[in-house]
């Protein structure tokens, strides 16, 4: 451990603060607690996935002055587990306590227009696109971007706030459907694959990247992650280098996910960034020396970054609330005993009180000596639980 880390590192039993009470926060709590820290969660909902395992919770809105003051008074640092936390809350906290990631970084990631401009400044390619802020922006100049996807500039995730369009008339109609809020029109590209890189960067600029993950979706929601991604070595190295460049340009401190499209004839193109641990990095809990959540805790506590070495090939399968219902809509419990009879399976349920269709309820990581075996077991898991095939 370096002297610079020793001088400022948090000590066991000190408090780390967390804005947000979802499953990413739950896994952060567990990682931080394993390092000996206590976690104070601020979240307006009681009995959330993070609050139920945290050492204490402030039940308050993210912009509640008294709640934020409690975090600042009790914690040695504060982080967040979802990208739509108000950047102003992070800015307020940063005046009296270390915050990672910064309000600036989160603010950039919260707006697709700003995000794409910033990534391009790093010399990293993004999809051809145009900002649409008002009806007058929809003109014949947009035709080279068609067919395309109209996306809201803010608050879009898991396929929400997105409409596929083929003509200017459809752009106009979609813009109205999306409430005429600020949008981005992106050209649809010939995708070969989608991949992502998780990069951890500490306050001294040290970086560690996790292996490149290959992602497959169903209905716009991540369904399966295969690691290592089935891409060539040079593309993997480029993806990791691009992720580090983006984190450096943002002076980012924390865990950042960079999602890429692998495009026929163009190579790697950044889709978007997420200023937090990411669904596609969940495999790291079981398949890497250090998980993405432990890295988040280490960075906040000003401890050295851990090794991101992947010790076993892995496949992550998302578990959505659909599995808790029969095709007729009757409630049921998924067949966990049959799944857990497979020796390569690790089950992670998020402690959510109620299942809903499309809601992320947990994930399964299959860890095997060979990737082919992990893929075989992943299919067995899908067959047992009745999970359909991925869209891509």
Binding residues for ATP: 112, 151, 156-162, 186-189, 194, 217, 271-272
Which residues, other chains included, contact 322 with Cβ-Cβ below 8 Å and sequence gap of 6+? Answer: 357, 358
Q: Do residues 24 and 276 make contact, with C-beta atoms less than 8 angstroms apart?
A: yes
DSSP helix/strand/coil, 198:
strand
SS3 content of the chain, % helix, strand, coil (to 5): 35, 30, 40
For residue 122, CA distances in Å to 13, 59, 242, 268, 270 come to 39, 39, 8, 14, 11
For residue 125, CA distances in Å to 145, 147, 231, 306 come to 16, 19, 18, 29
User: In whole angstroms, what is the distance from residue 168 CA to residue 110 CA?
Assistant: 26
Q: Which residues are annotated as a binding site?
A: 112, 151, 156-162, 186-189, 194, 217, 271-272
Radius of gyration of the chain (CA): 21
User: In whole angstroms, what is the distance from residue 364 CA to residue 54 CA?
Assistant: 22
For residue 65, CA distances in Å to 42, 91, 279, 358 come to 12, 12, 31, 34
Report strand pairing: 191-201 vs 207-209.
antiparallel
Which residues, other chains included, contact 65 with Cβ-Cβ below 8 Å and sequence gap of 6+? Answer: 92
**Cis amide bond preceding 228, omega within 30:** yes
Q: Residue written as tokens 């999602």?
A: 259
């Amino acid at each position: 451990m370096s002297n610079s880390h020793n001088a400022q590192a948090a000590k066991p039993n000190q408090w780390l603060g967390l804005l947000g009470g979802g499953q990413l926060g739950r896994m952060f709590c567990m990682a931080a607690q394993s390092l000996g820290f206590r976690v104070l969660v601020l979240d307006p909902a009681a009995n959330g996935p993070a609050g139920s395992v945290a050492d204490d919770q402030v039940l308050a809105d993210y912009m509640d002055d008294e709640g934020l003051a409690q975090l600042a008074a009790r914690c040695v640092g504060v982080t967040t587990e979802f990208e739509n936390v108000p950047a102003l809350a992070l800015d307020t906290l940063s005046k009296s306590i270390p915050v990672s990631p910064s309000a600036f970084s989160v603010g950039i990631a919260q707006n697709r227009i700003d995000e794409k401009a910033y990534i391009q400044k790093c010399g990293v390619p993004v999809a051809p696109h145009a900002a649409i802020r008002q009806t007058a922006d929809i003109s014949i100049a947009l035709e080279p971007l068609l067919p395309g996807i109209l996306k809201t500039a803010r608050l879009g995730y898991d396929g929400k706030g997105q409409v596929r369009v083929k003509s200017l008339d459809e752009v106009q109609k979609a813009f109205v459907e999306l409430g005429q809020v600020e949008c981005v029109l992106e050209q649809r590209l010939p995708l070969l694959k989608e991949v992502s890189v998780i990069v951890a960067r500490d306050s001294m600029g040290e970086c560690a990247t996790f292996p490149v993950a290959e992602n497959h979706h169903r209905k716009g929601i991540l369904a399966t992650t295969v690691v290592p991604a089935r891409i060539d070595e040079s593309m993997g190295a480029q993806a990791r280098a691009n992720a580090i460049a983006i984190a450096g340009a943002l002076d980012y401190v924390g865990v950042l996910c960079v999602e890429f499209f692998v495009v026929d004839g163009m190579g790697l193109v950044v889709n978007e960034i997420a200023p937090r641990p990411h669904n596609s990095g969940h495999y790291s809990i079981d398949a890497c020396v250090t998980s993405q959540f432990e890295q988040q805790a280490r960075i906040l506590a000003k401890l050295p970054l851990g090794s991101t070495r992947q010790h076993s090939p892995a496949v992550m399968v998302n578990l959505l609330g659909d599995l808790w219902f029969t095709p007729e809509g009757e409630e049921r419990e998924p067949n966990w005993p049959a799944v857990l009879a497979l020796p390569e399976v690790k089950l992670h349920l998020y402690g959510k009180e109620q299942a809903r269709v499309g809601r992320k309820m947990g994930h399964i990581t299959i860890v095997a000596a060979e990737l082919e075996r992990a893929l075989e077991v992943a299919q067995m898991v899908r067959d047992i639980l009745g999970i359909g095939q991925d869209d891509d």
